[in-house]
Amino acid sequence: MVVLGLYTPDDAYDFNTYVEIAGRRRWHKAAYESVVARAALLALDLNARGIRAEPLTFVDSASLVDLREAAVRAGLGTRGLNGLVVTREFGPRVRFGAVFVEPELPRDKPLPDYYCASCSICVSRCPTGALAPWGFDRALCTAEFDPSPEMLARQKREAKPVTPFTRLQCNLCVSSCPIGKNRAVTWWDGSSACEPPGVSELPGGFETLRAQRI
């Protein structure tokens, strides 16, 4: 399996869009759709090279593989105090995807590092106490995907509206992390053509997409 990490330096990657059209409900999140699309591109490239490959969809990800654990085992980062994967370059500002491959590729190794030994900023910034030095209480997290009725009501009250259909839920456990926080990112005004995403030799990747084997 190849694990992909997409760098998400802007809150826009975490916008949650909820729409209902003709009785059918849709939920969109740019970060997840973007990494799934790039996984599909990588799978196409690998298939063209004679390696059987199939991308992991977001719908299947929770039931098939723990992407955070896979990312750690692939050496893309380590588990942070916030429960997320903290990478050396980008901190926790990364979303993960995967591509299943045959035959099995040589494996990469987990990192020996740990970045949170002398830092607990994310714990102190958590507004609900969901983060603590002894672990993470999902029931208290205002970004929980499957909240209790009480938490759902709180999410509706506290989420930042972006449009009538889009809101930004709490991401302080990500944005408060000092690792990668001051990484230089240049705004591009769209005045010139951008380069289409391509696939490099493993275990390299795009400027914002890294791939490791597990």
DSSP state string for 149-160? HHHHHHHHHHSE
Task: Name the amino acid, one letter, at 89.
Answer: E
pLDDT in tens, 177-214: 999 988 877 777 766 666 555 444 444 333 344 556 66
- The proportion of the chain whose per-residue pLDDT surpasses 90, expressed as a percent, equals 41
Domain range list for the chain: 2-183+199-213
- Rounded to whole angstroms, what are the CA distances from 82 to 42, 49, 59, 115? 30, 39, 24, 11
- What pLDDT does residue 118 have? 87
Q: pTM, whole model, 2 decimals?
A: 0.83
- Cα separation, 39 vs 182, in Å, equals 27
Extract the tokens encoding 45: 């490239």
Please write the tens of the pLDDT for every residue from 3-52.
999 999 998 998 989 899 999 998 888 898 999 999 999 999 999 989 89
Distance CA 9, CA 201 (A): 24
Evaluate whether 31 touches 8 at the Cβ level (below 8 Å).
Answer: yes
